[in-house]
Amino acid sequence: MKHRKKKTLGSYPYFSVVFSIFLSLFVIGLFGLLLIHTTALTAVIKDNIEVQIYLNKEVTDNQRIQIQKALSSKEYIAQKEDELQVSFISKEEAAEGFIEETGEDFTHFLGENPLRDAFIIKIGPEFQSKDQLNEIKTDIEELTGVFEAVYVESLVESINENLAKISAVLLGFAVILLLVVVMLINNTIKLALFSQRFLIRSMQLVGAKASFIQKPFLLRSALHGILAGIIASAGLYTLLNFANQRIENLASLQDLQVIALLFFILIALGALIGFSSTYRAINKYMKLSLDELY
């Protein structure tokens, strides 16, 4: 006669529970990493939105200094490490750069340098809407000595439109994913606790308090959630390292503190999901009548 292992309160087939929570947290973590990289890439793009300010050919050094001072006082100029993002490129420097890139010296057949002195300014992220950039362009062109202010309008519009679409898609996906994850884990834990329903009823019949019955289930499910979170975080870390080796400059978009925070959230979320799902499931079995247990 085979020896049957005696069931203890709070024990149940935990592999399927841990695997379900791990799989769900891994998918959520992938979404989190996508969001982190998308946000970082967006910030890089926004940090490089520039306006090129071309000066009149007859502008004097004094006028150029006044223009630079006027630009430095504008609130829409971006700052990096407390330094205003305003740079000056003389027409000689521009010509040298053009010749170096193309290999052709256009001054030989033109007889002169047709390029203009220019300021390059970077615009703060909060001033990058289409209307704001048009206002900035108008404001700059009113300065004495400025010939024209230019920015790539189609690029800015495309960035803003795509950001809005990406944000809407990611938000919708996150809501759907969260609902699916909660339903999946709830059903998995209910099935896992099904084998314990008669033991739970037996404990109730001998006068055990609800908290006494719930405690081992809740403690074990929280630990299983933490374990699933650790495994999911380890899997994501391995995947991230693999991606960094395959995709050039991907690591430059990563903030290790933010990624570590994501892993911590996954572990905490695993414990919370396991705890809350088990709490609901065990309360359901405790409220069932004897006939409903069969």
pLDDT per residue over 44-101, tens digit each?
Answer: 777 778 889 999 988 888 989 999 999 988 998 988 877 888 899 888 888 787 777 7
Helix (H) or strand (E) holding 160: helix 153-194
Higher pLDDT, 75 or 287: 75
Instruction: Map tokens 């606790």 to a residue.
Output: 193
**The pLDDT of residue 2:** 45
Span of 13-17, 138-142, 254-258 with lowest mean pLDDT: 13-17
Q: Are residues 168 and 40 in the same domain?
A: yes
Q: Please indicate, yes or no, if residue 138 is contained in any of the structural domains.
A: yes
Q: Please indicate, yes or no, if residue 247 is contained in any of the structural domains.
A: yes
Q: Please indicate, yes or no, if residue 218 is contained in any of the structural domains.
A: yes
**The pLDDT of residue 3:** 46
Q: Please indicate, yes or no, if residue 156 is contained in any of the structural domains.
A: no
Domain extent for 58? 50-150
**The pLDDT of residue 175:** 75
Q: Are residues 116 and 257 in the same domain?
A: no
State mean pLDDT over 250-265. 89
Task: Tell me phi and psi for residue 113, to 5 degrees.
Answer: -95, 110
**The pLDDT of residue 290:** 53
What is the count of structural domains for the chain? 2
State mean pLDDT over 201-208. 73
Higher pLDDT, 236 or 288: 236
Higher pLDDT, 2 or 189: 189
How far is residue 268's CA from residue 274's CA, in Å, rounded to a whole number?
Answer: 10
Cβ-based neighbour number of residue 131 at 10 Å: 7
CATH of the domain at 88: 3.30.70.3040
What is the average pLDDT value for the chain, to the nearest integer?
80
